Structure 1
Amino acid sequence: MGESGQGITRRAGLQGSVAAGLAAALPFRASAAASGVTAEIDVAKTGEPISPFLYGAFSEHIQGFIYSALWAEVLSDRKFYYAVDNQDPSTRKWRPLAQPETVTMETAAPYVGEHSPQVALSPWEQRGIGQGGLALAAKDHVGRIVVAGDPGAHVTVTLSWGSGQSQRVVVPVRRQWTTVPLRFTCRAATTDGRLEISATGTGSLKIGAVSLMAADNVHGFRKDTIALFRALDSGMWRFPGGNFTSGHDWKDAVGDPDRRPPKWDHVWNYPQSNDIGTDEFLTLCRLIQVEPYLCVNSGFGSAREAAELVEYVNGDAGTAMGRVRADHGHPEPYKVKYWNIGNEMFGFWQLGYMTPSQYVVKHTLFANAMRKADPSITLVAVGASPASLTIHSEPFYIDPDTRKIVHPSPVIVEYGSAVDWNHRLMKDAWGTFDMISEHTYGDPHRYDLTTGQRVEVTESVLDSVRRGANYIHAIREDWELYKKDFPLERDGVKMALDEWAYFVGGMRGVLAVSLMLHEMFRNTDFIVMGAYTTGMSWLSYNATDSIYSEQGLLFMLYRKHFGTIPIEISGNSPQPAPKWPAGGDQPSVTSGSPTYPLDMSAALSADRKTLTIAVINATADVQSADISLAGFAPRSRGRLWRLTGPNLDSSNHVGQPPQVTLTEEEFATGQSQWSVQPYSVELRAYSR
């Protein structure tokens, strides 16, 4: 049976010992059973510190997602990926002002991309192009236009924000391409503003690029959303993907933004303006004070291109690519430490996906080239445990004996088999990575091992929202198997959970995500990085305004008020045994603290003067718990934060009163009996 058969035998031999010993072997496990929930927090029983990177964000160019949340650009298709005509309005945002034939797309010498609009002028008629449906705030706006044309053309750019309310800027024109600044004072907010570029004269007018932003933008980013993200203090951001990375050429997104070609993104089927590239992302990280984590293209990209990106980012100005960076206005190296070699290369949905045996070759080529460019960087390899591979449903491999493609269905990936991506990576590429990534998406539907499909089940809210945390625990069980065969602890190899989320929003999603956070806190001995999918969902926003979503409030709650040194929780109410067989996202031991039906996590502050205890109640009833502290004598009054909403569907939307609220109050620390509100997340802080 080759490697696959050996893996099945090995799995059978190891799984039993792991399942039996996991509660004792892993941090923060306790076992007991009695009626009435009691919990003891002994501050002498500490775990590895919680990295600020666990609160990180995953940011990907999924169509215009990043641009709408972060970028201050008002205009769509500002570099004319699409032709200017009267065709499909869902893509053609620019329209001719006069007859359609007055605007053609010039391809012989476009300013950028494949073509530029060219307007045939008339001395008797205003001709040009316009874009409507603009969302404008009542504030100053700035921008620029790149034009070329025949002398004598009279060109104006007009911004309108209401009936009879507009402002014009006269634009001088030369035969060569010229960039002309624009400035307008919009005196009323609107969602139906309009920008028109019009001209009279003889000959033609060519338009290369146009930009319009609120004048209070911060290096091109939205002032409002940047302030909200900075306040979250989210530790680390991953960029530019995600699946997007595997088809992205980073060189298309550096240098003069107006000269960066707009290109079709074959991953998300959307035109990519390339306005937010490497330099802009690193500027963003500086603005919101987070560590950058860059992902290179190991799909359609090459090791040489990845090494050149490392040199562009970290090389001094004397290197070839460092000199290019300096020419782009950034003379000093960025000194980015964390680098991800590709994204989900095991998946059939990934551009350039491959088998485990092929990936280890490509990964090694990338690692060697990137470390040659900068030996100090920390490399994160694409990882996938049997738990993840089973859920993804489509792994395949080449049988080493028959040399035929094996594609089992339904898929149940066994530890050590030829399909076990992480095992092959550790066996054949050890020493070429510092961390291994894992992507964990919780889902309210159960993964059925017999059919290989997600299925609906009738279960409690608690069981449903726990599925993401169970998935993380299943990954933990796989990690324990890897520790038996590979020197993970000796060499300090850790895991980056650099994509994770739960596929439901509202208060239900808040409960699920908080449970996943708790499971990560219980496993800080090996999970040292997390990137929530996506950081943009921490906000609810429109084109001009933004607030924190319910997810954003959750991350703010934990990041600002939860401690950094995790503490073991002992309790008398262990989590129930699993209802379903182990495999995929179902571990052999249910995740959670021994305080069922509540889930608790505790941590000390770095100075050990404050103890915080977080408790999640994912039931419809008030739950009681008796809490005792060991080794910690608090002051008489503490602080209590509670995150909750009227129902499981409660959520926060910009322009509407928030449904999910975060409140703060005092509590008496001498009262050991807690009453935890239904469908809520509570944090209590004790200080000494």
Structure 2
Amino acid sequence: MAATHSRLGAVLALSTILLGSAAHAAAEPGTTRPVIARPVVARIDATRASAAVTPYAYGMFIEPIGGLMNRALWAELLDDRKFYFPVVAEGKDPPQPLSVEGKPALVNRKWRPIGDEAAVTMDRAQPYVGAQSVRVAVDAAATHGFGQGGLGVAQGREYVGHIVANGTPGTVLTVALVWGPGAGDRQTVTLPPLTAEWQSLDFAFKPGADTADARFEVTGTGTGFFRVGTVTLMPADNVDGWRADTIAVLKSLHSGFWRLPGGNFLSNWDWHQALGPRDRRPPVYDYAWSAMQPNDLGMDEYMALTRLLGVDPYVTVNAGLGDAHSAAEEVEYLNGPATSEWGAKRAANGHPEPYGVRYWNIGNEPYGWWQIGRTSLDYFMIKHREFAAAMRAVDPTITLIGSGAMPDQMHPRDAKENASLESIQAKFGTENDWTGGLLAKAWGDFDGLSEHWYDTVEKRPDAPPADELMEFARAPANQVRMKAEEWAIYQRRFPAMAQKPIFLSIDEYAYIGAGNKPTLKLALAYSMVMQEMLRHSDFIRMSAFTFGISTLDATPAGATLNATGQVFKLYGERFGAGVIPVAVTGDAPPPDPKFAVGYDHPQVKSGSPTYPLDIVAGLSPDRRSLRVAVVNATFQPQPLSLAVQGAKADGAGRVWRLSGPDLDAQNKVGAAPQVTIIEAPAPSLRGPLTVPALSTSIYEFPIRMGGSARVAGQ
């Protein structure tokens, strides 16, 4: 993920809008009555088919940016559980280095002394793991120890953990979970007496109240000292260390694949150090995001995640500070037989069967000034070819994806520009064309190319609400359209692409910006992104959304799909793998934008020629039904006429509609969802349609191929 981009998302709700003459109309802000528009005409040619949607059309991306994985996906409640940082009083923390782009460090929750802070020191002579462990002097006169606050816990839920400690024989440790200010708002567990040897001691808690600010404490009594090497605390229902509730919700999306483990983080991460028992893996520093990583998440954990989610793993290898030899070893660890060197190490770690990872990405954004290990295009082409040869020598069946960047993404660090097809022409074939560089200098050493984009929300406070909504919703899909326009240029520049088809993987993308919450409004924009990618299914074969957890609203008490998650659910279930996109034409092309924008917005126009509706259509895998997806990002119901060539209507249809009560609708844990997907009857393909305001609808009509069907009222 580019260092200049943000993360996380959450929430959204409700949809009651029915179809046909009873369509619900949303009044435009500042008005009292909706306006019924003139009919939109869409011509669908069922004989002009594109490549079928792949199982990887709606994938996800994740990386451990600071604590991003912890608490949302990984079940660990404690930060710095291996004591990378010293345990010191508030205000005495050593400064952390800035990130690679000069931004402040991501702040972990810190351990703080309990009692006399002078009693708590760091032992660097005999650490249990990493460079240091905590040493606490104890005596009979006072309580000494350390603790960490800011933990989120749920009432009545069981939490389990263990602490690895040693000390003066006979010293007694107690651990406590505190969830409030009262004397009864805590649970204390006294552990067996310590010995001079490191030992792992288990404990469990069940808090008496919900709180986002619980505190975990470790204290000792006796004479002498105790040391703590590591400690962990998780919900008892965790599954192999992963949160059971968030995993269950994410599994419902059937995402096809997850790209992992990064991300900028990857470019200075050594996967070898994250193998074996988690307590014994040394914590590491992530210089990309300026954050400590406990290194609990290694390739075995990531493979467990994809297994639990029911998706395929798509692994990116470190081509920043990493080398081809390390990447080849990683392929062997994940895919090699147990008789191979690294396959044997995998088996020794409890996984005798190969994981069989098919998709591999060489490097993350190697073109970016923010990327650790960045080099020139020419030098990286040497590196890419070496990686490809070494990885394929281990497993020739893998699918390799090169890390490209088209000219619209390439500009100087502080440049402010909005790329157009005219403005980028001079960049093709230069250092500012990494996709072209791979095509020209590494042909044969990849099967597909990756592309990343992030679009930033523009503020238009003076724009009329209807115009502001449409401009907001259309903007991110323009990023996809620009990739399609540039792909066509590459096809002309490199005729070999016609002989050996390769594919594009848009494996990081998001619509970001301060205050851009996962509302119904954002869901309409992401719906248009999905539609634009579906228009180019002939070469856009994979995509991965930033981040997988951005489809959730998650709290310590539970998780639910937010509005963005509902978009992925709708398209994954109703326009998913095997659906065959077909041509949609019309007489109303999308207009030019009405308002000036900032920068990093491609100057192209996405959408179908059915403005103001955005429409894609496709045949079911058995060609017995027609799917029509329609986004109405307006405040009015829109009458729609469909003229279908090459198919005949064969009965009444159904519609699945995503909507909510207003643009700000969200889904929150513990509250009734506001953005929902409602299934309802639809007229036959011969009947008129009215598409409700502020909605994304996917219609399904039974058909027989051959002939034509025309909607009444055209």
1:292 CA displacement: 0.3
**Contact 1:86-1:92 within 8 A present in 2 as well:** no
1:577–1:166 distance in 2 versus 1, CA, 3 Å: closer
Give 3-state SS (helix, strand or coil) of 2:428's partner: coil
**Contact 1:60-1:66 within 8 A present in 2 as well:** yes
Equivalent residue number for residue 131 of structure 1: 148
Give 3-state SS (helix, strand or coil) of 2:681's partner: strand
**Contact 2:79-2:109 within 8 A present in 1 as well:** no
Equivalent residue number for residue 140 of structure 1: 158
Structure 2: any 5+ residue segments left out of the alignment?
1-36, 94-106, 417-422, 704-714
1:579 CA displacement: 7.5
1:391–1:606 distance in 2 versus 1, CA, 3 Å: farther
Equivalent residue number for residue 116 of structure 1: 133
Q: Are 2:572 and 1:559 aligned? A: yes
Give 3-state SS (helix, strand or coil) of 2:118's partner: helix
Equivalent residue number for residue 39 of structure 1: 42
Equivalent residue number for residue 427 of structure 2: 414
Equivalent residue number for residue 524 of structure 1: 537
Q: Which amino acid aligns with 1:55?
A: Y
**Contact 1:233-1:559 within 8 A present in 2 as well:** yes
| Residue correspondence of structure 1 range 198-213 to structure 2 within 5 A | 198-213=219-234
C-alpha distance in 2, partners of 1:330/1:186?
35
C-alpha distance in 2, partners of 1:136/1:492?
51
**Contact 1:35-1:573 within 8 A present in 2 as well:** no
Equivalent residue number for residue 586 of structure 1: 602
Equivalent residue number for residue 78 of structure 2: 75
Equivalent residue number for residue 676 of structure 1: 691
| Residue correspondence of structure 1 range 125-204 to structure 2 within 5 A | 125-137=142-154, 138-162=156-180, 163=182, 164=184, 165-204=186-225
1:35 CA displacement: 7.3
User: Aligned-residue CA RMSD in angstroms?
Assistant: 2.8
Equivalent residue number for residue 287 of structure 1: 308
1:391 CA displacement: 9.0
1:569 CA displacement: 1.5
Equivalent residue number for residue 241 of structure 2: 220
**Contact 1:646-1:659 within 8 A present in 2 as well:** yes
1:623 CA displacement: 1.5
**Contact 2:449-2:504 within 8 A present in 1 as well:** yes
1:152–1:293 distance in 2 versus 1, CA, 3 Å: same
Q: Which amino acid aligns with 2:474?
A: R
Q: Are 2:107 and 1:104 aligned? A: no
**How many aligned residue pairs are there?**
633
Q: Are 2:635 and 1:620 aligned? A: yes
1:627 CA displacement: 1.6
C-alpha distance in 2, partners of 1:655/1:455?
32
C-alpha distance in 2, partners of 1:670/1:569?
15
Equivalent residue number for residue 18 of structure 2: none
**Contact 1:548-1:652 within 8 A present in 2 as well:** yes
1:485 CA displacement: 2.8
| Residue correspondence of structure 1 range 428-439 to structure 2 within 5 A | 428-439=441-452
Equivalent residue number for residue 29 of structure 1: none
1:640 to 629, 646, 655: 655
C-alpha distance in 1, partners of 2:326/2:153?
40
1:464–1:199 distance in 2 versus 1, CA, 3 Å: closer
Q: Are 2:593 and 1:572 aligned? A: no
**Contact 2:683-2:689 within 8 A present in 1 as well:** no
Q: Which amino acid aligns with 1:126?
A: T
Q: Which amino acid aligns with 1:85?
A: V
Structure 1: any 5+ residue segments left out of the alignment?
1-33, 396-409, 447-453
**Contact 2:407-2:424 within 8 A present in 1 as well:** no
1:336 CA displacement: 0.5
Provide, for residues 536-593 of structure 1, a one-character-per-residue CA deviation record: whole Å limited to 9, x for no partner: 1100112332111110011101111225211211323233367899x975355x3221
Worse-matched range after superposition: 111-120 or 671-680: 671-680
Provide, for residues 630-667 of structure 1, a one-character-per-residue CA deviation record: whole Å limited to 9, x for no partner: 44445543222222234333333334443323222222
C-alpha distance in 2, partners of 1:628/1:391?
48
Identity of aligned residues (%): 42
1:105–1:423 distance in 2 versus 1, CA, 3 Å: same
1:325–1:172 distance in 2 versus 1, CA, 3 Å: farther
Give 3-state SS (helix, strand or coil) of 1:68's partner: coil
Equivalent residue number for residue 309 of structure 1: 330
Q: Which amino acid aligns with 1:417?
A: T
C-alpha distance in 1, partners of 2:346/2:440?
38
2:352 to 325, 331, 334: 331
C-alpha distance in 2, partners of 1:437/1:391?
21
Give 3-state SS (helix, strand or coil) of 1:520's partner: helix
Worse-matched range after superposition: 156-165 or 232-241: 156-165
Q: Which amino acid aligns with 1:42?
A: D
Q: Which amino acid aligns with 2:147?
A: G
* Greater relative CO, 1 or 2 (CA 8 Å, sep 6+): 2
Equivalent residue number for residue 58 of structure 1: 61
Worse-matched range after superposition: 507-516 or 549-558: 507-516
1:460 CA displacement: 4.2
**Contact 2:506-2:544 within 8 A present in 1 as well:** yes
**Contact 2:67-2:108 within 8 A present in 1 as well:** no
**Contact 2:520-2:665 within 8 A present in 1 as well:** yes
Equivalent residue number for residue 491 of structure 1: 500
Worse-matched range after superposition: 539-548 or 627-636: 627-636
C-alpha distance in 1, partners of 2:165/2:272?
25
C-alpha distance in 2, partners of 1:95/1:215?
25
Worse-matched range after superposition: 89-98 or 525-534: 89-98
Q: Are 2:623 and 1:608 aligned? A: yes
Q: Which amino acid aligns with 2:133?
A: S
Q: Which amino acid aligns with 1:598?
A: L
Q: Which amino acid aligns with 1:168?
A: V
Q: Are 2:550 and 1:537 aligned? A: yes
C-alpha distance in 1, partners of 2:446/2:404?
11
1:392 CA displacement: 7.1
1:443 to 453, 456, 468: 456
1:519–1:393 distance in 2 versus 1, CA, 3 Å: farther
Equivalent residue number for residue 98 of structure 2: none
C-alpha distance in 2, partners of 1:608/1:411?
41
1:105 CA displacement: 0.6
Equivalent residue number for residue 97 of structure 2: none
C-alpha distance in 2, partners of 1:205/1:105?
11
Question: TM-score when scaled to structure 1?
Answer: 0.86
C-alpha distance in 2, partners of 1:36/1:393?
46
1:167 CA displacement: 4.0
Equivalent residue number for residue 7 of structure 1: none
1:495 CA displacement: 0.7
**Contact 1:391-1:585 within 8 A present in 2 as well:** no
1:202 CA displacement: 1.9
Worse-matched range after superposition: 296-305 or 503-512: 503-512
Equivalent residue number for residue 658 of structure 1: 673
C-alpha distance in 2, partners of 1:654/1:412?
48
C-alpha distance in 1, partners of 2:498/2:126?
58
Q: Are 2:471 and 1:463 aligned? A: yes
| Residue correspondence of structure 1 range 361-372 to structure 2 within 5 A | 361-372=382-393
Give 3-state SS (helix, strand or coil) of 2:634's partner: coil
Q: Which amino acid aligns with 1:493?
A: I
1:130 CA displacement: 2.1
Worse-matched range after superposition: 254-263 or 571-580: 571-580
**Contact 2:170-2:193 within 8 A present in 1 as well:** no
Q: Which amino acid aligns with 2:529?
A: M
Equivalent residue number for residue 294 of structure 2: 273
Q: Which amino acid aligns with 1:93?
A: K
Q: Higher helix share goes to which structure?
A: 1
C-alpha distance in 2, partners of 1:569/1:557?
20
Q: Are 2:600 and 1:598 aligned? A: no
Provide, for residues 62-82 of structure 1, a one-character-per-residue CA deviation record: whole Å limited to 9, x for no partner: 211122310111222211122
1:35–1:354 distance in 2 versus 1, CA, 3 Å: farther
Q: Which amino acid aligns with 1:500?
A: Y
